[in-house]
Every structure is written in structure tokens, then in C-alpha cells.
Structure 1
Amino acid sequence: MSGIDTDLYDDRDRGLLTARAGGAAGEIVGYLQYFVLDEPAPALVAAHTVVDRAHEGKGIAGSLARELYALAARETLAVAPLCSFVAAWAERHPGEAPAAPAELLAAAEAALAAEPEKW
């Protein structure tokens, strides 16, 4: 990341990947909201990415997207990018972000429609 020193933290119970300035107790400067999909295959579904206005343009959202894909890879999970930012980031980084099958994306969209609070 350029311009700001941040650390990334995964809170799986809340479905939140956060970027914090100043370590674990520091200010949240961005986050990526996601949920876990079980069927048709286990996946992390990126639902929404937000960066504090004062920290936009510093690579925070891209770092969050990269970390979500790295997390999924470590756990042998797919990523279904419903968040428009994460989907665009994945298209620009195909080596780091394997494309999700259409069936998985459709299941993720259906899960989000059934439980809109996931977003």
C-alpha cells in the first residue's frame, strides 16, 4: 500500500476483513464485507468494500481484495466477487484471482437476495 501503513485483520464471525492504521487497536480505514457460502461449493462471497474518504486512492481497497483471495487460497476456497470493486480488481489480476464459475456466482447472488443483511 502506498501512503498509509495499515494492517489487515479477518473477523470471520462478522464476515469482515478490515484495514487498520496503527495495528489491531487502530482506526479502521477500510473494510471488505463478505460471507461464507456452503453450496454449490464452499466460497467466500465479497459483498461490499468501503474505504474511508480520507484514505481513498492509497491502495487500501486493492489490498483488501488481494487479502480476501489469499485467504481463500490458503483455505482452498473459491471467491465469488459480488462487490463491483472486487470483481473489477479480479479481472485486472487473473493470476491472483481465479474466475468464479457462473453457477457459484448465481448461488451467491441468490444467497444475498434471500438474506440482504449479508450486504
Structure 2
Amino acid sequence: MSDKSEYGIRDHREKGLLEAHENGEVTGRITYFVLDDDPAALVAGYAAKWAGRHPDEAPAASPEVVAAAREQLEAEPHRR
């Protein structure tokens, strides 16, 4: 058995996902959210939770952005 693992990042922007892979398996996902026709917002659950606990280090997302992100996740559950 080899001691080396294969790691990679795959940008599946057409699916709205940025995925981390280890040995061919998805180990993490970051979701692109399209806001105002611009897929510029990247959201990861752990990052959002961290930002919520550290408001002095990370600006809070506006309620509109949070609502839009939740709506997109509800509409496309495969992106979770």
C-alpha cells in the first residue's frame, strides 16, 4: 500500500461547485451562488459558521445574500 494520497481541486462552475478530492472521492464542497448574474460568491458551511462567530474578523453577509443563498440551496439540493 502506498503512503501517498492523491489530492485535487475541481472547479465545476457549470454545476455551481468547487470540490476537493482525495483518492478520487469528494471530501468537501464549496458552492457558487449566483447573485445579480455574477457567480462571485463562494460559500462553505464551515466558513459561514466561522464568520458568524468572528464578526470582528469577517464581515457579516447581508440578510438578502443569506436569503438568496438559502433559496438556491433549497432549489438545488445536489449542491449541498
CA distance in 2: counterparts of 1:118 and 1:29, whole angstroms: 12
Q: Separation in 1 of the partners of 2:31 and 2:49?
A: 16
Q: Please state if 1:91 is matched with 2:79.
A: no
Q: Which has the higher contact order (CA 8 A, sep 6+)?
A: 1
Structure 1: runs of 5 or more not aligned: 1-6, 21-25, 47-82
| Shift in CA distance, 29/108, structure 1 to aligned 2, threshold 3 Å | closer
DSSP 3-state at the match of 2:42? strand
- The alpha-carbon distance between structure 1 residues 45 and 109, as it changes in their structure 2 partners (threshold 3 A), is same
Q: Which has the higher strand share?
A: 2
Using the alignment, how far apart are the partners of 2:66 and 2:60 within structure 1?
10
The amino acid of 2:69's aligned partner reads: A
Residue-pair matches, total: 72
Q: TM-score, normalised by structure 2?
A: 0.55
The answer as to 2:33 corresponding to 1:36 is yes
Give the TM-score, by structure 1 length: 0.42
| Deviation of the 1:38 alpha carbon | 2.5
Instruction: Please report the RMSD computed on the Cα atoms of aligned residues, expressed in angstroms.
Output: 3.3
Structure 2 counterpart of 1:61: none
CA contact (8 A) 2:20 2:28 kept: yes
Mark the runs of 5 or more structure 2 residues left unpaired by the alignment: 1-6
Counterparts of residues 104-119 of structure 1 (less than 5 Å): 104-119=65-80
